[in-house]
């Protein structure tokens, strides 16, 4: 939902059927964590996702993927060696 662009707090609250203060609290946590960005327009606060806020998880995942590729290549070399 927030990936689509700026959304005011009450719209988010309506979508989740929870109180506006509760939603504000959640969004504050996400903002501090760098997952969402806050923009003020007049008296309204608009929120949207920051894809780059999720980047560390993606980097970690790619690293693990590479780890396995290399280990399985090492397994191949070991099997070749064991054979001789």
Partner 1 sequence: MKDIVHTVTYPQPVEAVWKALTTRELLSQWLMENDFHPEVGRSFRLRARPMPGWDGVVDCKVLELVAQTRMVWSWQGTNMKRATYVTFELEPVAGGTRLTLRHAGFQGVGGLFLRLMHSSGWKGKFLRKQLAGLLSGMERRTM
E-assigned strands of the chain? 7-8, 36-41, 44-49
Give, as ranges, the residues between 39 and 58 that touch partner 1 (CB under 8 A).
Answer: 49, 51, 54-55, 57-58
Closest CA to 31 of 13, 3, 50: 50
Candidate residues 2, 38, 46, 48; the one interacting with partner 1 per rule CB under 8 A: 2
What is the C-alpha to C-alpha distance for residues 25 and 22, in angstroms, rounded to an integer? 5
Q: Which is nearer to partner 1, 39 or 59 (CB)?
A: 59
- State in angstroms the smallest separation of the CB of 43 from partner 1: 23
Locus of tokens 């959640």: 26
- The only residue of 18, 21, 39, 44 in contact with partner 1, by rule CB under 8 A: 18
């Amino acid at each position: 939902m927030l990936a689509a662009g700026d959304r005011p707090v009450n719209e988010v609250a309506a979508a989740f059927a929870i109180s506006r203060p509760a939603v504000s609290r959640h969004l504050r946590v996400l903002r501090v964590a760098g997952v969402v960005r806050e923009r003020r327009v007049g008296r309204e606060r608009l929120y949207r996702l920051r894809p780059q806020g999720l980047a560390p998880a993606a980097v970690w995942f790619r690293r693990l993927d590479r780890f396995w590729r290399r280990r399985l290549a090492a397994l191949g070399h070991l099997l070749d060696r064991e054979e001789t």
